[in-house]
Structure 1
Amino acid sequence: MIRPFYHYLMTERDPRKKDAVTLFANHAENDGSFPKQSEDYDEISAYLELNGHYLPSMDVFDEAWGSYIDKNSN
């Protein structure tokens, strides 16, 4: 069973790093409405389109999603 995207994203948090995916993870941690149990790209993408004001671009989500898929394909 694949773990939810949010669980993967939380592994990318770091208070010292300032790259886009890390900043996304740090902000998502504080987003109480984030779909924490979802494994669905479309569901998370739609949520972020409407509520992801902390994302400078959806490209950041796409980059994080690609890493999520890569790490869960083993």
Structure 2
Amino acid sequence: MDRSFYQFVLSFRGGKKDDQKAVFAEAMFNDHAFPKGEKSFDPLSRYLEEKADPEMPSIIFDELYALYEERYR
């Protein structure tokens, strides 16, 4: 996998306000502490669980991570 999860999710930015993946991507972009270079599920999941941001729900993270794995593994 050459791209980090962060880089992958940025491709969803700019979507419609009712697109949960676009909302997640925008919130992630605005979170300056997000682990931008991370590729592994567990550290990313742990970060999001601890942050508990309503704009980055774990169900959307799971969907995005599944797409990320399909594309880059």
Shorter chain as denominator, the TM-score bin is 0.7 to 0.9
* Percent of paired sites with the same residue: 32
Is 2:38–2:44's contact at 8 Å kept on the other side of the alignment? yes
Relative to the length of structure 1, the TM-score reads: 0.86
**Residue pairs, 1:60-71, within 5 angstroms:** 60-71=60-71
Instruction: Please list every run of 5 or more consecutive structure 1 residues that lacks an aligned counterpart in the other structure.
Output: none
CA distance in 2, matches of 1:2, 1:27: 23
Q: Would you say how many aligned residue pairs link Structure 1 and Structure 2?
A: 72
Relative to the length of structure 2, the TM-score reads: 0.87
Looking at secondary structure, tell me which structure has more helix per residue. 2
4+ aligned runs moved over 3 Å, structure 1 = none
Instruction: Please list every run of 5 or more consecutive structure 2 residues that lacks an aligned counterpart in the other structure.
Output: none
